Structure 1
Amino acid sequence: MTGRLFKKFGQNGTFVLWAAAILLLWEAGAWFIEDIAQLTAPASKLPYIHRVLSSLVEHFPTMIKQGAVTFGNSITGFVIGSAIGFALAILMSLSRTVENTLSPYMIASQMIPIIGLAPIIYGIIHDAALSRVLMAGYVTFFPVTINALRGIKSIKQEQLELMRSYAASTWTLYLKLKLKSALPGLFAGLKLSAPLAITASIIVELMGAPDGIGVLMVSSLYYGTAQVYMFWSTVLISMAIGLLLYLIITLLERWMTPWQPEFRSKGRDET
């Protein structure tokens, strides 16, 4: 038990030291740009982190309100895109013909940049909420499909032969074996897609949505240096939203796939 506590303290201590070093370097860089180099609009290049945090505290209620709008639309599209992606993975695993037919179209769909597709979708639909949901789902389904399909295909031949020796039906084969094998790959795809879903929703908001954290970004940029710390605060909130979604998925993964090596108990540490 004592060994485990020391190990955990060492890991947390290393993280704190790295975080402190990064903050000190940030502050030193801001000081150099503003006081030594004396560049034009220094806060636009690299602002003081303590002033960014001060602005974040000052506008915190507004940030939370607009961030909640972005998060809500993002997670709705994320869930829908994940469901579609997982369904496509199962469908493609059932038939090689279906996989070969759908794969080129799926790959081609990902060649369209988000920054180019977002204004098209928003211009056609004229609904900010629905556009954010669609864009979040669009960037989610492909990583989920690819990683879940890889998980389904990772089953060992001996496992398949054992199930077939018991005359298992296709439904039983998926329910007892293939879907469970797909979960690690599914969560890998979800963790890749989570930040992208947030980014896609913010890009839609930059196109003229009435609310959301992207709207605050645009408005703060409009006022230039007068609202530069407000802009950096929105960047921090965007990062926090993406991290929150990532952590939620990580907790779900730990709960639903406890057999993975990184989640197994290491046993008792030596005292």
Structure 2
Amino acid sequence: MFLRLFKPGYRAWVMIWIISIFVLWEGLAWMLHLFMSPQQATSRLPYLHIVMESFFRHWSTLAEQGSVTFGNAAIGFAGGTLLGASLALLMSAAVWIERTLSPYVVSSQMVPVIGLAPIVYGIIHNAEWARIVMAAYVTFFPVIIHTLKGLKSVSPQHLELMRAYGTSWRARYVKCLLPSALPGLFSGMKIAAPLAVTSSIVVELMGAPDGLGVLMVSSLYYGSAQAGMFWATIMLSMGIGLISYLFISLAERWLTPWQPEFRPKGGEQP
């Protein structure tokens, strides 16, 4: 897991990866400047040091707009996770419930986000709620699928043994089914977390008054003059998605320590 990054060997690989990205980016930008005018090359891919300079120069604006996007995405993500987990528990209760709801759950994902976002924004006429709804929309499906898979992974013999001892349905869920569903729940959440941020930005591209998407559109309007700001906004959105993923991974490690990948191997320290 990502906590291994704090170990010396993994830290070295992280530094190699960062340096490689820097060299590759600067090399590609340099090649573009060889074959294009400075304005054209910068509008396509500015030098990374220019992007980082813009990032720190406009940090207050980026942080303010990023908090708007992340805040709404987090609320929608939480709501989508709750909805997805609840539907997964409901569908696991009986086969006929799963067969009844599955077509509707799958059909709900047939509309692309880029097509649904302007419809939702046009109906709600509120950027905050539109971001929350779209973040919940992209979250609940992977949460349902992975949580339901975890609930189905329980051995029938274990459930039969608990029934033989006369345990209640609540005890079966708390002591057997829910622990089996947690790894799947976290897998769905890790998939959905970056998607929730992306869907919120898509809503902002449709005409929202604030957020990272608005910064992207305004930066594109000024062309090469604001190319560094545009890429700085992209880097911030990527960073928000990555931090969300790492945070959920940390919670997964704390709450599901029984998973094989979290157990110490050989003489390795936990």
Measure how far apart 1:11 and its partner are.
2.0
Measure how far apart 1:267 and its partner are.
5.5
Measure how far apart 1:167 and its partner are.
1.2
Task: From 35, 44, 47, give the equivalent of 1:37.
Answer: 35
Measure how far apart 1:12 and its partner are.
1.6
Measure how far apart 1:134 and its partner are.
0.3
Q: TM-score, normalised by structure 2?
A: 0.94
Which residue in the other structure is 1:149 paired with?
148
Q: Secondary structure at the match of 2:111?
A: coil
Question: 1:161-208: per-residue Cα shift (whole Å, max 9, x none)?
Answer: 221121112111111110110000000000000010000000011111
1:11 aligns with 2:10: yes
Q: Which amino acid aligns with 1:189?
A: G
Question: 1:79-106: per-residue Cα shift (whole Å, max 9, x none)?
Answer: 0000000000000000111111111111
Measure how far apart 1:260 and its partner are.
0.9
Greater Cα shift, 135-144 or 209-218 = 209-218
Which residue in the other structure is 1:225 paired with?
224
Q: Which amino acid aligns with 2:137?
A: Y
Question: 1:87-146: per-residue Cα shift (whole Å, max 9, x none)?
Answer: 000000001111111111111110100000000000011000000000000000000000
Q: Secondary structure at the match of 1:41?
A: helix
Provide the C-alpha distance between the structure 2 equivalents of 1:269 and 1:176, rounded to a whole number of angstroms.
29
Provide the C-alpha distance between the structure 1 equivalents of 2:40 and 2:8, rounded to a whole number of angstroms.
41
For structure 2, which runs of at least 5 residues remain unmatched after alignment? none
Within 5 Å, which residues of 2 pair with 1:116-131? 116-131=115-130
Q: Which amino acid aligns with 1:99?
A: E
Provide the C-alpha distance between the structure 2 equivalents of 1:22 and 1:162, rounded to a whole number of angstroms.
54
Within 5 Å, which residues of 2 pair with 1:168-207? 168-207=167-206
Which residue in the other structure is 1:216 paired with?
215
Provide the C-alpha distance between the structure 1 equivalents of 2:18 and 2:221, rounded to a whole number of angstroms.
32
Greater Cα shift, 21-30 or 191-200 = 21-30
Q: Secondary structure at the match of 2:258?
A: coil
Residue identity over aligned pairs, in percent, reads 55
Q: TM-score, normalised by structure 1?
A: 0.94
Measure how far apart 1:8 and its partner are.
3.0
Within 5 Å, which residues of 2 pair with 1:23-102? 23-34=22-33, 36-38=34-36, 41-102=40-101
Q: Secondary structure at the match of 2:7?
A: helix
CA 100–12 in structure 1, closer or farther in 2 if over 3 Å, else same: same
Provide the C-alpha distance between the structure 2 equivalents of 1:25 and 1:125, rounded to a whole number of angstroms.
43
Measure how far apart 1:261 and its partner are.
1.4
1:252 aligns with 2:251: yes
For structure 1, which runs of at least 5 residues remain unmatched after alignment? none
Greater Cα shift, 11-20 or 204-213 = 11-20
Which residue in the other structure is 1:241 paired with?
240
Which residue in the other structure is 1:135 paired with?
134
Q: Which amino acid aligns with 1:116?
A: G
Measure how far apart 1:226 and its partner are.
1.4
Provide the C-alpha distance between the structure 2 equivalents of 1:219 and 1:45, rounded to a whole number of angstroms.
16
